[in-house]
Amino acid sequence: MVVEDDPASREIVVRMLQKEGIHVREASNGREAIEVLQSGVTPDLIILDLIMAEMDGFEFLRQVRPHAEWSKIPVVVVSSLDINSEAQDVLRGQVERISRKDGSPEKTCSARFGKPSINTC
């Protein structure tokens, strides 16, 4: 599942994953992502932006991680936020990887993820 509030960035990530044959769910903020999870969908991976309106990535993690059925879903953070040591402490143990958006979403995605090896995002 791709959780990203910027439609252009989200579309680029989704298209890259779909090009690899991966079925992708989308959400424009943390609240929508929780609604997807509550509907019974359990993605193999969540690609999460941190800075979003309505519910940001930090709040999303605070609400998702306590649920046994969602706690083991790997989360990769891809954000333009300059992640300081305090934010790193909050994210430590909750996410698999933190990647900073370096310019275009295409550059960030291809440089950080390579070819996905999962069936569903």
What's the rounded Cα separation, in Å, for the pair 54 and 117? 31
What's the rounded Cα separation, in Å, for the pair 57 and 17? 21
- Please enumerate, as own/partner, the contacts of 110-117 that have beta carbons within 8 Å and a separation of 24 or more: 110/16, 112/78, 113/16, 113/76, 115/20, 116/17, 116/20, 116/22, 116/45
Encode pLDDT of 96-110 as tens digits: 888 877 654 444 443
Query: 26 near 14, Cβ under 8 Å?
Result: yes
pLDDT at residue number 31:
97
What's the rounded Cα separation, in Å, for the pair 29 and 2? 10
pLDDT at residue number 46:
97
pLDDT at residue number 36:
97
- Calculate ∠ Cα 5-88-55, nearest 5°: 30
DSSP codes, 25-69:
-EESSHHHHHHHHHTT---S-EEE-S--SSS-HHHHHHHHTTSTT
- Given a cut of 70, the residues of the chain with pLDDT beneath it are 102-121
pLDDT at residue number 24:
96
